[in-house]
Amino acid sequence: QKEVEQDPGPLSVPEGAIVSLNCTYSNSAFQYFMWYRQYSRKGPELLMYTYSSGNKEDGRFTAQVDKSSKYISLFIRDSQPSDSATYLCASGGSQGNLIFGKGTKLSVKP
């Protein structure tokens, strides 16, 4: 079992829809949870950063972490065509590097 699992999709939604992206992780020592967005032929960019459990909201984006079930979610409200990208979840502990999921490719149709 990989340490971070993510459904690669692809996921296609109409403009204005609520998007739910999910990951699971296996290492109980992970305390840091991040979401990155990657446009085609670009490097990933940090979208959301969460420490431990709970919710974090930034504009149309909400990140949720449930450490009891080792479940990470990203919600996008009122999705826009410009949100079309690959979304990568990542987790790690205070020592070492981030472990990334494979990424979910999202397409928002106008």
Partner 1 sequence: GAGVSQSPSNKVTEKGKDVELRCDPISGHTALYWYRQSLGQGLEFLIYFQGNSAPDKSGLPSDRFSAERTGGSVSTLTIQRTQQEDSAVYLCASSYAGGTKRLYGYTFGSGTRLTVV
Where does this chain bind partner 1 (CB under 8 A)? 6, 8, 31-32, 34, 36, 41-46, 49, 88, 92-103
Work out whether the CA dihedral 7, 88, 97, 49 comes out positive or negative. Answer: negative
Residue closer to partner 1 by CB (options 17, 102) is: 102
Least distance (Å) from partner 1 to the CB of residue 36? 8
| Spatial CA neighbour of 22 closest among 32, 8, 12 | 8
Residue closer to partner 1 by CB (options 5, 17) is: 5
Residue closer to partner 1 by CB (options 17, 62) is: 62
Least distance (Å) from partner 1 to the CB of residue 31? 8
Question: How far is Cα of residue 76 from the mean position of the Cα atoms in its chain?
Answer: 10
Largest separation between any pair of C-alpha atoms in the chain? 43
